[in-house]
Chain A
Amino acid sequence: MKKSLGAVAVAAVMALSLSACGGGSSSSAESSKGGEINYWLWDANQLPAYQQCADDFTKANPDISVKITQRGWDDYWSTLTNGFVGGTAPDVFTNHLGRYGELAENKQLLAIDDAVKKDNIDLSQYNEGLADLWVGQDGKRYGLPKDWDTIGLFYNEAMLASGGVTEEQMKNLTWNPQDGGTYEQVIAHLSVDKNGKRGDEAGFDKNNVAVYGLGLNGGGDSSGQTEWSYLTNTTGWSHTDKNPWGTHYNYDDPKFQESMDWFAGLVEKGYMPKLETTVGASMADTFAAGKSAINAHGSWMTGQYTGYQGIDVGIAPTPVGPEGKRASMFNGLADSIWAGTKKKDASIKWVEYLASADCQDVVASKAVVFPALKASSDKAAAAFAAKNVDVSAFTEHVKNKSTFLYPITDNTAKVKGIMEPAMDAVVSGKAPASSLTQANEQVNALFK
């Protein structure tokens, strides 16, 4: 309860330490070759793979050791910011597309163009587009890609079987914002009320639904990464005027608003849970509890969905949209170097190693995420297959070039701050999608 003064005090102490330490860290920017590098990441599932990479790296470079620190996503960015200010940030850290623009602009990231040129790193060996994501607005490179993710439909095999929906049908779903295509038909058919009536039968009680055809994760805020972007972006709509570094958002486009009205309509029809019921238990856990038949989610969730006991899960590609193509957001992480590092050369070496086949093959073998290198991605798919998980729904997007990039712009945190409540209002049925026009004006005012 007594946070006010505390928060002010923290900010002030941080500010004081800024003035106290600022000079020290910048003046001693001489680069030594060896020593210990600090490396941060947020995903605990990936820690074992990267620990092995670090051990292998030290074996090859005995004068450099790597200390890995894993912090949960919630603390990661604030701790990192404190580190930048206080001069204790890690030399190398896992970076996110939604954050690095601001960090680069504030001169916290080391541009690595010279090193990439000098060490002849072939940027075409990465999956298409991933390397370009990490070139900032100033044209400089601030990271080397490490992994990627796309969206797919996780489904409960038993529920599909009892509804008579085949795997073949799931692979060939179509969607449009007017009647929802075969995607809506399947979702309706898989929705079952308390009396056992299906969503496409007469007398379906939409107020007493036992199983929803489609699970809901949330309103999706500015990106709708797993919630709606795999649908809205099949209509030819895109989040921004250009990507990366767009300066105009398009939430006022009638095409987009039509899609969002359709999406929110699923709740009204009783095919998708109400937004208010999704606060709390995670969408994946609700799926495991048998409350939804299909969940659209990211490839990084594969381990969790296929790991639930007593439930058989299949993965289908996202539906084909009105323009005859599928769509999936393509998000990628990279490793960046802090501008204030005192071990520049060693840090560059470590980043290049993380982006090399030596390390990415290790990551692939753990079957947790898809590494950025094309060759390593295939190895990861094979590692998933060895666990009896077919991940072609995710890799297909990359092979068929049906991906679009995570919207990279300035002010991403502020855009999210505006769009989160606006999207919640639409998905919960409190406001029509046309209300997004006003939110869009607020968003675009940030870029003036």
Chain B
Amino acid sequence: MTEFTPFASLAGGVLIGLSTVILLLANGRIAGISGIYSRLFESSTLANGKSAWVHGEKGWQLSFVVGIVLAPLLLMEGGFEIEQVFTGDLTLIAIAGALVGFGSVFGSGCTSGHGVCGLSRLSVRSLAATITFMSVGIAVVFVLRHVVGG
């Protein structure tokens, strides 16, 4: 069991919404984590021969990812306790990681790009994606907990 935390979760959601707004209004870009992170591994030379780190998108994409990675450290510095409980072993974690990575890039988005930004844009495509990954996620947890583990 985990505790029902409507207020903390709503506050976290508002922060995620604010982050989306910062990226949209300042940089004109969608805050989709899988897209931003995976594009860091693209070629770093632009079509005109200039560096993508300086003239292209890569600079802010990297600083965005660095910000995400640093956030929990700053919160812990401020006395915030972060709980992380994994239910599977490393093999299952490796399989899940590969599926999440492949699926989110192949399906052009994850919980942030389709779930938050896509639904905020009223995109039918993102709605279809969100319904799909939510239903499959629910089905997999159902099988794990109530069929296999039942």
A binds B: no
Interface residues of A (CB under 8 A from B): none
